[in-house]
Structure 1
Amino acid sequence: MRILLFWPKSTFSVSEVEALYELFKKISHSIFRDGLIHKEEFQLALFRNSNKKNLFANRIFYLFDQKCNGVIDFGEFVRSLSMFHPETPSGDKIDLAFRLYDLRGTGCIEREELYEMVLTILNESDLFLSEEAVEQIVDQTFKKADLNGDGKIDAAEWKTFASKNLALLKNMTLPYLKDITMLFPSFVLNSEVCEE
């Protein structure tokens, strides 16, 4: 099979895109054999369980599903995953993180949204803090990020805050994407596409 695709704003090389195609095929055929990734397949790929409910995974699926049609096609998969590549500029990751935290899509992060995401991230990490400790994290974040004091963090405020606190972007980088061709070497070794 020969694939010749060009992705705008993609950090992946042609060989990496070919390897991602193999990964995409595995995920998109895990439950429904239609060449698209459904939410259940996405959950299965992340958690080995297609029924697990997770706010973070739901948000990522929502952001990957750029056409808002309930499935992820290969183009959406590559463009979205490129945002998690180790070489993607931190500014792009900051923008994606903002969209991830803006649960209601209002163009700002409200206290309840931040609280909900902090709880989700802690639970995913198997860390459990008291309600007071989580409130303190949210309070401190708003104290540092809500520069105009309106009770919301807008995109500009988030960019300023996240630029000074790059540890927030830890979940926005998947180191193995840099070596994706090592995970699927047979496909790449048989490739007819050159890197030019």
Structure 2
Amino acid sequence: MGCFHSKSPKHTPGYEEPIILAAETLFSVSEVEALYELYKKISSSIIDDGLIHKEEFQLALFRNRNKRNLFADRVFDIFDYKRNGVIEFGEFVRSLGTFHPNASVSDKVSFAFRVYDLRSTGFIEREELREMVLALLHESDVVLSEEYIEMIVNKTFDDADKKGDGKIDLDEWKEFVSQNPSLIKNMTLPYLKDITLAFPSFVVGSEVEDSDL
């Protein structure tokens, strides 16, 4: 651990000791140290200030810092639980824990619910679902007619809104995801299971294909 501390990690905003973060997450101490190296690469990719800005986050996770990505925006906002516009190291490790293959399905479902709850009201409303469907289709370069998109949104919403009150609460969402598990497929990042070996392939500018992530 001595060589780790020689890199002056305490100058990293939001830095917390690996042993503390390991105790609170599914990562081991050595994995937290590997995540620190990853964090440093991402946080210095555009603005070298030891913080991860939204553009750096999008570049690292989605290979694009210029094209607005609603999903990336929402994930960034949830990672940034201090609401100060940047992701600090402690936030980075704790939030990534949800994407660990061994993280509970319940945690993944709850995180996905917060992603879709665009206005943070505690419910997913029809318009929020529509915005997310449009964003995901756009990101996948899928072009569908407005009529077909409305059909998808209406069917999805009606299937999930069991109470018929015009909004999807967390319990309804959990039930809907249990019947449609593909909705949380992107909530698991397999390489986090052995981040000490995998993280070198997950650096800014790497040649890893998106399909591998």
Q: TM-score, normalised by structure 1?
A: 0.88
Compute the displacement of 1:63 (Å).
0.5
How large is the RMSD of aligned CA atoms in angstroms? 1.6
Compute the displacement of 1:56 (Å).
0.8
Bigger relative contact order, structure 1 or 2, given CA contacts below 8 A and separation 6+?
1
Identity, in percent, stands at 66
CA separation of 1:126 and 1:178: change in aligned 2, threshold 3 A: farther
- Separation in 2 of the partners of 1:96 and 1:163? 14
What residue identity is the alignment partner of 1:87?
N
Q: In the alignment, is the contact (CA less than 8 A) between 2:161 and 2:167 conserved in 1?
A: yes
Q: In the alignment, is the contact (CA less than 8 A) between 2:18 and 2:32 conserved in 1?
A: no
Alignment match, 1:56: 71
Q: TM-score, normalised by structure 2?
A: 0.81
Equivalent pairs counted in the alignment come to: 185
- 2:18 aligns to what SS in structure 1? coil
1:5 paired with 2:56, answer: no
- Separation in 2 of the partners of 1:140 and 1:49? 32
Unaligned runs of 5+ in 1: 186-196
Unaligned runs of 5+ in 2: 6-16, 201-213
Alignment match, 2:208: none
Q: How does 1:1-196 map to 2 (within 5 A)?
A: 1-2=4-5, 4-7=18-21, 9-184=24-199
Compute the displacement of 1:184 (Å).
4.7
Runs of 4+ in 1 over 6 A off after TM superposition: none
What residue identity is the alignment partner of 2:163?
N
Moved more, 27-36 or 92-101: 27-36
Question: Which digits, 9 at most, give the CA deviation of each residue in 1:119-159, with x for residues without a partner?
Answer: 11122222222222221221111221111101110111111
